[in-house]
Amino acid sequence: MTRWDGFVGRTAVVTGAGGGMGLRIASDLVAAGATVAGIDLKDRPEALDDALYHQGDVSDDGFVRHAIGSAYAETGQLDYLVNAAGVLWFGRDRSLLEIELDDWNRVIAINLTGCMLTARHAVPWMQKSGGGAIVHFSSTQCLRGDDQPQDAYQVAKAGILALSKSIAIQFAKDSIRSNVILPSATESPMQARWEADPELKRRTAEGVPLGRVGTTEDMANACLFLLSEQASFITGTELLVDGGRMALP
């Protein structure tokens, strides 16, 4: 892990901390000296035994309010929010002509409304703390069409871009920054299908100019940069972490 300075004594809330990108980000922040409050439906991972942890649904307003308020109450400040929670439902999330409305609503609730709720409850504590930084995880999928569509996922991830820009402009006066990371295909529990089909992973990597899929470490490094003081003049923007995929014609 890259050694990051400036996180000692800071407090971060990380959604999706039960696995994948969220777990790697939470673990790296802990290693860098931050106090982390993880949020996830999954059980607490062993790697976060020494962190604060709240098990619940990011689309549940009352739960989110309590979890974020507890993080502030425990430490007296809130400096960072990372929205890494999300679902990618292969087989269920399909074209708008086919998707079940309940599935559409649930994907939107988790992937987009969850980001709104965490920001809604984190920003006031960041204002009390004198500022902060927010990183949301979107996807390169929201920048392109697909002949095998996952329309709810794509729409939710596109909405995150607009939400982040609005947060950035509304709260810049409070020294609160908001940015988005757009990963391409990344090796994480979301892509568990690669374990059963290594050939699919190989073909996916062939479509990436750098010749491989992303890793949770790649995403965590980008996230910690955007949270850090090295990115203190960066807000309201998006960072592609895609191995060059979106630069292809």
Task: Name residue 82's beta-bridge partners.
Answer: 14, 135
Burial code (b: 16+ CB inside 10 Å, e: under 16) for 191-220 equals beebeeeeeebeebbeebeeeebbebbbbb
- Collect all residues with Cβ–Cβ distance below 8 Å to 238 and sequence separation of at least 6: 138, 161, 164, 179, 180, 181, 182
Cα distances (angstroms) measured from residue 137 to each of 46, 169, 179? 24, 18, 9
Tokens read off for 80: 């960072």
Kindly report the number of other CB atoms within 10 A of residue 112's CB atom.
25
| Residues with catalytic function | 153, 157
Distance CA 171, CA 145 (A): 32
Q: Give the CA angle between residues 18, 83, 218 to the nearest 5°.
A: 75
